[in-house]
C-alpha cells in the first residue's frame, strides 16, 4: 500500500481541523481524498479550502459507498459515532472516531463487539491527551508499583470555560437529543480517560450535578463527583464550563509519594518510607515522613492529534501500536454515564451499573428535549483546543 486514502465524515470544527493537518503534510501516511457533510455551507467551505482533488458528498453513506477511501475519520455529533464506526467496519474501512466513543455505554458495547468480528479493520479513538509525556510519565510511575497503592486522587478541571455563544453555535449542542450530555460528554472525555488510564476504574460513583446552572442549556455545566476504588482509596472529580478563570490540577496521593500535574508540569514528592511504616515507627506526635522532590526526566513529546492520527497510520501500514484502541473508549464513558445516573437518581452508583436503566433515564430526557429556535452557525479554529 502507498499512501492511505482518507475520508472524513463531518467537516465542522474538528473535521476541518484534521483535514487541514493532512493537507499540510503533517500526517504523511495519509492522502485526503473525500469528505462528507450534511450542511451545504460546510461543502462550500470544502470547495474553497480543500481543492478539487478532494471529492465532496452530502451524506456519509455516499462517501462510505464511494470506494474512494481506505480509512475514515468520524467527526459527527456524539450519538452517531458508533453507527458510522460500524458502517466503516462493514465495508472493511479502517476507522478513527473522535471522543467520546458514544453517548451511552450500551451503544458503545455494541460497537466494540462488532469490532471484534472485524479484526482486519484498525479501529482507533482520538484520545490525544495520552500523547502528552506528562501524563504518560505519571501513568508509568503510578503503575510501576514503586510507590505502593493509590490512597487518594483529585482532579479539578474547571478551565473549560464556555460563553453562551458557544452553546448557541450549533443546533445539537448542549441538548439531550443532540448531544446527550454537557461538560462530561463534550469537554471532559479526555480527563475521564486519563483518570482511569492512570489510576484504574473506581467501584463506586456519587455525583452532584447541575443542569444549566451557568448557561441557558439543558445539560450539565457543573459537576462535583466522589468515587471509591476497590482498595478503599477515594477520589474527586470537579468540572464546569462556568468558571471564567479555571484550574487544571490533578493530584494523586500514594503510600510513598505524591504526584501532581499542573501547568503542563509533573512534580513528584517521594517519601523516605511509606506512610504506613512511618506512622507505625514514628514517635513524634506531629512528625511526618522525610520527603524529597524529584527531578522528573521527560522527553518533551506532546504530539496530540497528529500523534494519534500518525500512530493510526502506522498501525494500518505496519501493524504498530495505536495511541488508544477504539475499544478503550468505553471506560471514560462508563464514568460519565455513572455520574449522570448518580445525579438522575441522587444516589451512589456501583460499577458495573445497569446500562439499560441508564438508557431509559437518558431516553426520558431525550423525549423532553427542546429544539433550539435560533442558532448562529460558527466554525471555530481548533489549533489550541487541546490545551483546555
Per residue in 318-372, pLDDT tens?
Answer: 999 999 999 999 999 999 999 999 999 999 999 999 999 999 999 999 999 998 7
Distance CA 195, CA 190 (A): 9
Neighbouring residues of 49: CB distance < 8 A, sequence distance ≥ 6: 16, 19, 20
Smallest CA-to-CA distance from 85 within 107, 60, 105, 111 is with 111
> Taking the model in full, what pTM does it have?
0.95
The closest alpha carbon to 268, from 233, 292, 289, belongs to 292
Q: Which CATH class is domain 130-301+332-367?
A: alpha beta
With 0-12 CB in 10 A as exposed, 13-18 as middle and 19+ as buried, what is 118? middle
For the record, the C-alpha cell of 154 comes out as 483529585
For the segment 143-190, what is each residue's pLDDT rounded down to a tens digit? 999 999 999 999 999 999 999 999 998 888 999 999 999 999 999 999
Domain residue limits, the chain: 4-128+303-325, 130-301+332-367
Under CATH, which architecture does the 4-128+303-325 domain have?
3-Layer(aba) Sandwich (3.40)
What is the reported pLDDT for 1?
A: 72
What grid cell was written down for 200?
484504574
DSSP reduced 3-state for 261: strand
Which alpha helices (DSSP H) does 259-354 contain, by range? Answer: 275-281, 304-318, 329-345
Domains 4-128+303-325 and 130-301+332-367 belong to one CATH topology: no
Handedness of CA 274, 275, 279, 280 (dihedral sign): negative
What's the confidence (pLDDT) of residue 300? Answer: 96
Cβ(271)–Cβ(293) below 8 Å: no
Instruction: For residues 177 and 282, give the distance between their C-alpha atoms in angstroms, rounded to a whole number.
Output: 58
Number of residues in the chain: 388
Per-residue pLDDT reduced to its tens digit, 249-296: 999 999 999 999 999 999 999 999 999 999 999 999 999 999 999 999
Phi, psi of 222 (to 5 degrees): -155, 120
Cell of 67: 470506494
Amino acid at each position: 500500500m502507498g499512501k492511505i486514502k482518507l475520508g472524513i465524515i463531518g467537516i465542522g470544527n474538528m473535521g476541518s481541523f484534521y483535514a487541514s493537518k493532512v493537507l499540510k503534510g503533517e500526517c504523511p501516511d495519509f492522502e485526503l481524498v473525500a469528505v462528507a457533510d450534511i450542511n451545504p455551507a460546510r461543502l462550500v467551505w470544502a470547495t474553497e479550502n480543500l481543492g478539487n482533488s478532494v471529492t465532496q458528498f452530502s451524506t456519509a453513506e455516499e462517501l462510505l459507498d464511494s470506494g474512494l477511501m481506505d480509512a475514515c475519520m468520524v467527526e459527527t455529533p456524539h450519538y452517531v459515532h458508533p453507527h458510522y464506526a460500524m458502517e466503516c467496519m462493514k465495508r472493511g474501512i479502517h476507522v478513527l472516531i473522535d471522543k467520546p466513543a458514544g453517548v451511552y455505554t450500551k451503544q458503545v458495547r455494541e460497537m466494540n463487539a462488532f469490532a471484534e468480528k472485524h479484526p482486519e479493520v484498525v479501529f482507533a479513538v482520538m484520545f490525544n491527551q495520552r500523547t502528552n509525556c506528562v501524563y504518560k510519565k505519571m501513568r508509568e510511575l503510578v503503575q510501576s508499583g514503586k510507590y505502593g497503592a493509590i490512597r487518594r486522587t483529585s482532579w479539578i478541571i474547571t478551565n473549560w470555560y464556555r460563553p453562551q455563544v458557544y452553546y448557541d453555535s450549533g443546533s445539537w449542542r448542549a441538548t439531550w437529543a443532540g448531544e446527550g450530555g454537557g461538560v462530561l460528554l463534550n469537554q471532559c472525555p479526555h480527563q475521564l480517560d486519563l483518570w482511569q488510564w492512570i489510576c484504574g476504574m473506581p467501584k463506586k460513583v456519587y455525583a452532584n450535578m447541575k443542569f444549566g446552572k451557568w448557561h441557558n442549556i439543558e445539560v450539565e455545566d457543573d459537576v462535583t463527583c466522589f468515587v471509591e476504588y476497590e482498595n478503599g482509596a477515594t477520589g474527586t472529580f470537579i468540572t464546569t464550563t462556568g468558571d471564567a478563570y479555571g484550574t487544571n490540577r490533578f493530584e494523586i496521593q500514594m503510600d510513598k509519594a505524591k504526584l501532581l500535574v499542573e501547568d503542563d508540569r509533573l512534580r513528584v514528592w517521594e517519601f523516605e518510607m511509606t506512610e504506613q511504616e512511618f506512622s507505625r515507627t514514628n514517635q513524634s506526635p506531629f512528625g511526618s515522613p522525610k520527603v524529597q522532590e524529584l527531578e522528573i526526566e521527560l522527553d518533551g513529546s506532546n504530539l496530540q492529534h497528529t500523534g494519534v492520527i500518525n500512530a493510526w497510520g502506522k498501525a494500518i501500514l505496519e501493524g504498530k501500536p495505536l495511541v488508544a484502541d477504539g475499544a478503550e473508549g468505553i471506560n471514560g464513558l462508563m464514568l460519565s454515564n455513572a455520574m449522570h445516573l448518580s445525579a438522575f437518581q441522587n444516589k451512589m452508583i456501583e460499577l458495573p451499573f445497569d446500562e439499560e436503566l441508564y438508557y431509559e433515564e437518558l431516553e426520558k430526557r431525550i423525549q423532553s428535549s427542546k429544539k433550539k429556535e435560533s442558532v448562529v452557525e460558527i466554525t471555530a479554529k481548533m489549533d489550541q483546543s487541546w490545551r483546555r
